[in-house]
Amino acid sequence: MIHSILFVVLAVALTLGAPAAGGAAGRDLVIGLGGDATSLNPVVATDGVSYTVEWPLFDSLLELDQNLTVRPLLAESWDVSRDGLTYTFKLRKGVTWHDGKPFTARDVAFTFYSVLDPRVTTPHRAYFDALAGFPELTAKENPKEPH
């Protein structure tokens, strides 16, 4: 009797957890979340659910692998100056946005400007505090726009 009950419970659990037949396999990403994302903009999002949703949507210049080794992602390579203060990234070619426009250095600069702009409320500004050479961006009065 117990084996029959366990079998039925297992069969129901597998049926409820299985994807629907004829679903959009390979086209849709379905993630179960404990709440709603508050933003899909990684510059301003502050909650873990937003981070979970953003993670598969946005790439970064670099990533960490399973061994916490820095690897290229949107940057195919980078050089560091002798004094360790200047990083030069070579961007991967052929990367495009959803609308087909190419990914450029201006896009990277826009992200940095957004995080450093004192008019933007972001939890990530502290990560960029060590950057040098951006006084025009971090000026409280009249910060410059990216160019």
Residues 54 and 57: their CA atoms lie apart, in Å, by 5
pLDDT of residue 27: 79
> What is the chain's Cα-based Rg?
22
pLDDT of residue 146: 53
pLDDT of residue 132: 62
Q: H-helix or E-strand containing 11?
A: helix 2-17
pLDDT of residue 2: 47
Residues 83 and 96: their CA atoms lie apart, in Å, by 33
pLDDT of residue 144: 57
**10-residue stretch averages of pLDDT, the chain, 147 residues long:** 43 45 66 86 88 86 93 95 91 94 91 84 81 62 57
Residues 107 and 28: their CA atoms lie apart, in Å, by 27
Among 56, 74, 73, 55, which Cα is nearest to 64's?
Answer: 73
Chain CA centroid to CA 60, Å: 6
pLDDT of residue 10: 43
